[in-house]
Each structure stands twice: as structure tokens, then as C-alpha cells.
Chain A
Amino acid sequence: MDATAVRERVAAFLAEHDPATTDPMEFLRARFDAGLAWVFFPPGLGGLGLPRDRQPLVDQLLRGTPDNDPGRIAIGLGMAAPTILAYGTEEQKQRFLRPLWTGEEVWCQLFSEPGAGSDLASLATRAVRDGDEWIVDGQKVWTSGAHLSRWGILVARTDPDVPKHRGITYFICDMHAPGVEVRPLRQITGEAEFNEVFLTGVRLSDDLRLGQIGDGWRVAQTTLMNERVAIGGGMPGGRRTMVGMIADTWRERPELRTHDLHQRLLRLWVNSEVMRLTGARLREQLAAGHPGPEGSGMKLLFAKLHQEASGFEVELLRDEGLLYDDWSFRRSDGVDFLGREAGYRYLRAKGNSIEGGTSEILRNIVAERVLGLPSEPRVDKDVPWKDLPR
């Protein structure tokens, strides 16, 4: 379908569903049914089976019409949906994708555990078969949006007698089921962006299983790969940056300037510019259909720069650097890097090298997958999960 045909299709849709008079949710459902939600999805599932690069045109043509809230549905959109598409049954795709996209049903991710962070495959949440159901017990952590979610993508251990990667199964967790308890997790910034989720005797019907029993690690790879694409591709170009903001402070407040800070600011500015150019080059590669391995590096660069810059800013501000805007324990649904004070930026940036893969794990990935260096000798490869030291 060429650009003209896409335009015609959008025009026909808008003629039938006037965004000014249609209920916003009805409009979104109709947009999904017209195949204009994510056009790279198959027909009947909100798409038209078009190449991914047709989506920006559709989004542009429908700008100003009722839209889903991309922040609220980020995990559903970026992680659950591609996994359901790849491994779901026809019934699962029909049941879950439409309300996921419209935002009627919010999704969260139940992967990390207190005992399984970087080594996710060592996870200990158990799922035991009971007739047509599974009984799930365990604890998950760093779950953003769990308190708002209808569903969660869950990995659990179904066979402790085989090596860790082989005994995992992937489920869709009903967040309203009895035994699901969500508690806010207070972080070093004072508020709670994330949750702990306690699963106690949670019964999940077997038709909430995604993929084969014991195949959960492979299914999870689809989720994690899409997470990296989302992180790498989501790096903003041209938007205001942290270093740009610090540079403005520098220009406006000459009384803060010292020679030492000046030298460091110039270094930060160069690093920020190099990162901007690296991102711009990466986006050009993606657009040309040649995603390079550079994507794996962007998150590393981003974390390092954010941490250096935010630490610099607190020091630059001196007296004000001793202050903090708000320690109160409350829920927050997002990261407001540029809207809050320097102390918050400094503390929140510490998470950039931990969340979504620590910088140490990412360096391993770069070394092994990009540079082809050999992996460390593995002591857990052929050992049944139940015999691993924990």
C-alpha cells in the first residue's frame, strides 16, 4: 500500500468517524478496527500488514484526533504486544491487543525479582500446574504501573529440575486475581515510581499461558529485544537535553562560574554533542534499514552522560545544591528529568545505569555480541535450577 492509498484509507476512516463528535474511546476502537492503530500489525489485529515505516505517516494524518496515552500504555505497546503477536494464540490476540492499544487495559511487566536481577533466568517465582490452572507464588519487583494494570506479563518457574533457562514458562497475569498484592516501592528520590508485587496462591487459567510450557525464556527474549529497540529508538533528537539546560544556567548566572567548572562543562558539552550525533547517526541507520550494533551502546552513553551532568549541576549550584524539592512518599507515574530540581535529577539519574539492563551487563553484551569476545566460563549452564547456589 503506497502513501496515497494510506492517505485515502485515513480520509475514508475520518469521514465515517468524525473525531469532533465521536466518543474518544469509541474513536480509538474504530481506529483499531480500521487497521490504523499500528499499521505494521496484521489485518484484523489493528494493522494492515504494512512496513513499520508507514506508521509515522498515519500518526501524522491522525494528529489532533483522540489518542491513547503513550506513557500509560508504554509497556503494553513496547513489550506485551509484540510478544503476544509472536507467541499468542488467535484467541489471545483477539482478546488482548485491542484494549491494550486503546489503553482500556494497562499492562505491567513481572520479570525482575529480589533474587533475580541481571541474572533474570535464575528467577524463583513458582507456577505449579493444578488441572486447567496454574498456582503462582513468588515476588516481583521494579514493576512500574502495577497498581494501574489489568494484566502483567509474567515469567515463572514451572520446572525446577532442569537448568535455569529451560524451566521457565511465560504467562499473562490477571492483576485483579486474588493473591496479587501491589505495594509501592520507595526509591532514593523519595517517591515511588515502581512497585513490589507479591503473588500468593494466584490462580491463572492455562489459557493465560503464552507459548509452550518450558519455553518462557525464548518468549521473554522477544519482550526484551523489543524493550531494547524501544529504549534505543526512543532517544530524543533535538529535544532539550540536560546539558543544554545546565548550559543555560551557566549563561544566566556568571557568579557561579569557576575555572574548574568551566573546563568540566566544556567536556560535558562535547560529550553531549557526541551523544546527540551518535543518536542521529543511529536513527539514520534505522531509517535506511540497517540497524547497527550502535543501538546497544546508546543506553550506556546516555546513563554516563546523565550521571556526570546531574552531579556537575548540583555542584555548580552550590547553596541551592544543598536543597531538595520534595522528599514526600507518594506515587509518581513518570520521570520528570527536566521539570524538577537538580537534586532530583542527580538521584534519579543513578537509575539510568541500572534499569533495563545494568551498564555492566550492557558492557558484557557489547563485548560478546558486538566485539565477539568469548563469554566468561559458565558454572550454571548444565546444573538443574534447584541445585544452584542462591
Chain B
Amino acid sequence: MSLLYSEIEDQLRAAVRDLLADKTSPGAADDGGLWKALARDIGVAGLLIPEELGGAGASAREAAVVLEELGRTVAPVPFLTSAVLATRALLAADAAEVGDLLERLAVGESTAALAVPFASSPYRPAGADVRVKESVISGRIAAVAGADVADVLLVPVEAGLAVVAADDPGVTVTPVTSLDTTRVVATVDLASADARIVATEPGALRDSLAFGAGLLASEQLGIAEWCLDSTVGYLRERTQFARPVGSFQALKHRLADLWLEIVGARAACRNAADQLASGWSQSARVAVAVAQAHCGAVAVHAAEECVQLHGGIGMTWEHPAHLYLKRAKADEIALGTPGDHRDALADLADLPAPA
């Protein structure tokens, strides 16, 4: 086990960073080309999928590094929703029943979304309001992330997962005006759509959400790092009262504190990714809860400081700071709030609530 980045992880980061620098900028929409390039050229779509199914057979550690970079650019790609959450859910399902879906996901031919509200926490997975009868599914699921770009929807049902094609005539996916404009949520309406039910291990949904939450922390780390870097850069340049604004101690101390929070976030993220890479255990659950309890708030704090310390320009639509603020705030809710994860530690760390 290690809390550092391996050489391979550094190389992966460099490849993702170069491609993002080349093909996108914060706030730019993806016409599909960016995700294709990431998914196929670098192979991030199949990172978590075993080699025998056409994936890279990598672990949560590598996926975490990709998420750090995607957080840094608030890139509008479905890596977290398809290559992490949906993929993890499928990997927990009966391989024979899943068929070739994982192979198609691995090469970026297909994109999936786990059809749960993005705010679902691993500790209280929201029971979707859906009915299944003989391979026909109906119901509505609100605030699903990644559904707008998915061609396959995975709907949690009692027996496991219902695999539904997004282009089924009974499926309507309606993107809603979202706080986070770089990852919009959508309402999924199912009206007697065809579904293929695949069985999963008990607790698979909870584990998939926890796995996603543990890795979301790395995206939050990337967001916080960008916010700190850009704020430091701005405060070195910006002059008021005939001095660089960054020479004022009141601001330096705020940034030093933020840097410290981020140092802690990096250790917590690496620990969560490392624990998740070695399978489920009590310590992995603790690591996820700790990373989420810390990193969600750090990303929001960093983005809020970024807006405030940029002054007027930080409040404009033109400057990208708002994209990070919106992503950070939405991420704070996604897959359990910091408070949800802290509450979970009452059990996980044996710190019982008052009777």
C-alpha cells in the first residue's frame, strides 16, 4: 500500500492532462469528440474493466488520478457516471447475464449510467420508484447524472439491475436545468420499456455507490487544486494599493489554510483509492467516509475562496471560477453529503450517538 503516486499513475495523469489541454477548456461543451478521445485513445473508459473483457484491468488508484485531472478542468465527460459508477455496478453483476456490455463500455462504444438520484448516499440508497413485470419496466427516477449522454441505463431493481436501452421507445430522458452546468442531471421516465434483468450480489448497489463516493473525492481534490492554483496566480498578479494583493497577510493566511486542507485531502483521497483498490473491507469503508467527509467540504471551500479572492471578476460569467463553484457544490451533495459520511462513521468507527 502507498499514499504516493506510482510512475504509471504519473504517466496516466500526464496523458490525460495533455489531452484535456489540447481538446477542451473549462466550460466548453463536449460534442462527443472529447469523451471519444479520452475513452478510446487513452482508454479511460475501460480502466476498471478486466483485461479479458477488453479493459485495462487497472484499479481505483488509476481511476482516481483520472478523476483528479477531470476535476481540474471540470470536463463534461461521463467518466465518473459511466466508467466508474455504472461499470462498478456491472462488475458486481452475474458476468454471464451481463453479456458483451462491459466489452462495449471498455472500448467506449457504449456509455452507461446508473439510474439513481445523484444525491443517493451509500448509507441510504434511494429506492427508485420503478415497477418491473416480466422484463417490462415503468417508473420515474429524478436527478440522474450522466443519463443525458448514456445509451444504456442501469436501473436498480429488487433482483439486481435492469439493463434498459436509452433509445427504447418507452424511455424518455429529460435533462433539467442544473446547478452544475458541466454535469447536468436528468429525469428518467420509463413507460413500459424493455428491460433485461441481471442478478447482482446482495449489497451491490450500496457498494457501487460507496466505490463511486470514494473516487469522487479525487475529483473534488482536482477541483480544489485548480481553485487554489488559479487564486494564487491571480493574487500574485493583481495589484491594489500599489502592491500585489497576494502580499497582504490576511489573504496569505487564508490561502495557507486552504493549502493545508488540500494537503489533507490528497492524503485522504490516496488512502481511499488505495483501500478501494484492494477490495472491500471495514477499513475501505472508513477510508471512503473519511475522504468524503473531508474532501467535499474542501472543494466547496476552495471554490468559494476562489470566487471571493478574485473579487469582481470572480463573480462574472466570463471567468471560469463559477463553473468550479457549481461543480463543487453539486459534488458535495452527490453520493452523500459530508454530514452523511460523518454520520456513517458513528458506526464505522464505533462512536455511538447519544441514546
A residues touching B (Cβ–Cβ < 8 Å)?
Answer: 247, 250-251, 254, 257-259, 262-263, 265-267, 269-271, 273-275, 277-278, 280-281, 284-285, 288, 294, 297, 300-301, 360, 362-364, 366-368, 370-377
Contact = CB atoms under 8 A, between A and B. Distances in A.
Contact of B256 (A266, A294, A367, A374): A367
A250 B351 contact: yes
A266 B342 contact: yes
A60 B327 CA distance: 51
Contacts of A250: 351-352
Nearest to A373: B246
Nearest to A256: B354
B244 interface: yes
Contacts of B267: 274, 277-278, 280-281
Contacts of B350: 247, 251
Given A254-B352, A301-B260, 14 more contacts: A250-B352, A259-B353, A262-B346, A278-B263, A278-B267, A281-B270, A284-B3, A297-B263, A366-B259, A371-B228, A372-B232, A373-B247, A374-B247, A377-B243
Interface in B169-206: none
Given A301-B260, A367-B253, A371-B256, A262 B293 contact: no
Given A250-B351, A266-B351, A277-B264, A284 B2 contact: yes
A288 B3 CA distance: 12
B244 to A, nearest CB: 5
Contact of A269 (B2, B270, B351): B351
A257 B236 CA distance: 48
Given A257-B352, A281-B266, A373-B235, A267 B342 contact: yes
Interface string B260-292: 100111111011000000000000001000100
Nearest to A259: B354
Nearest to B253: A363
B240 interface: no
B14 interface: no
Contact of A371 (B255, B264, B266, B346): B255
Contacts of A254: 352, 354-355
A170 to B, nearest CB: 29
A277 B271 contact: yes
Contact of A262 (B236, B246, B265, B354): B354
Contacts of B345: 266, 269-270
A251 B255 CA distance: 37
A269 to B, nearest CB: 6
Given A269-B345, A273-B290, A375-B247, A366 B260 contact: yes
B12 to A, nearest CB: 19
B252 A373 contact: yes
Contact of B351 (A251, A259, A284, A294): A251
A257 B354 contact: yes
Which of B255, B263, B267, B270 counts the most chain A CB atoms within 10 A?
A: B263
Contacts of A259: 353-354
B4 interface: yes
8 contacts: A247-B349, A257-B355, A262-B346, A274-B294, A275-B264, A288-B4, A297-B263, A366-B259
Contacts of A273: 268, 286, 290
B9 interface: no
Contacts of B263: 278, 294, 297
Contacts of B4: 281, 284-285, 288
Looking at chain A's contact residues, the main secondary structure is helix
Nearest to B353: A262
A294 B2 CA distance: 16
Q: For chain B, which range describes its interface: under 10, 10 to 19, 20 to 34, or 35 or more residues?
A: 35 or more
A270 B251 CA distance: 26
Nearest to B229: A371
Nearest to B231: A371
Which of A288, A363, A375 counts the most chain B CB atoms within 10 A?
A: A363
Interface of B: 2-4, 228, 232, 235-236, 243-244, 246-249, 251-253, 255-257, 259-260, 263-268, 270-271, 286, 290, 293-294, 342-343, 345-346, 349-355
A282 to B, nearest CB: 8
In the A-B complex, the 6 residue pairs with the closest CB atoms = A367-B252, A277-B267, A257-B354, A363-B256, A366-B256, A281-B3
A23 to B, nearest CB: 45
A250 B350 CA distance: 10
B256 A274 contact: no
B290 A376 contact: no
Contacts of B354: 254, 257-259, 262
Nearest to A258: B354
Nearest to A301: B260
A89 to B, nearest CB: 40
A118 B2 CA distance: 37
Contacts of B268: 273-274, 277
A347 B355 CA distance: 31
A366 B246 CA distance: 13
A161 to B, nearest CB: 29
A375 B251 CA distance: 12
Given A280-B267, A367-B256, A269 B349 contact: yes
Contacts of A377: 243, 247
Contact of A297 (B232, B244, B259, B349): B259
Contacts of B343: 266
Nearest to B286: A273
A300 B258 CA distance: 12
A247 B248 CA distance: 40
B303 to A, nearest CB: 17
B259 A370 contact: yes
A281 B263 CA distance: 10
A254 B271 CA distance: 31
B255 A373 contact: yes
Contacts of A366: 256, 259-260
A247 B354 CA distance: 14
Contacts of B259: 297, 366, 370-371
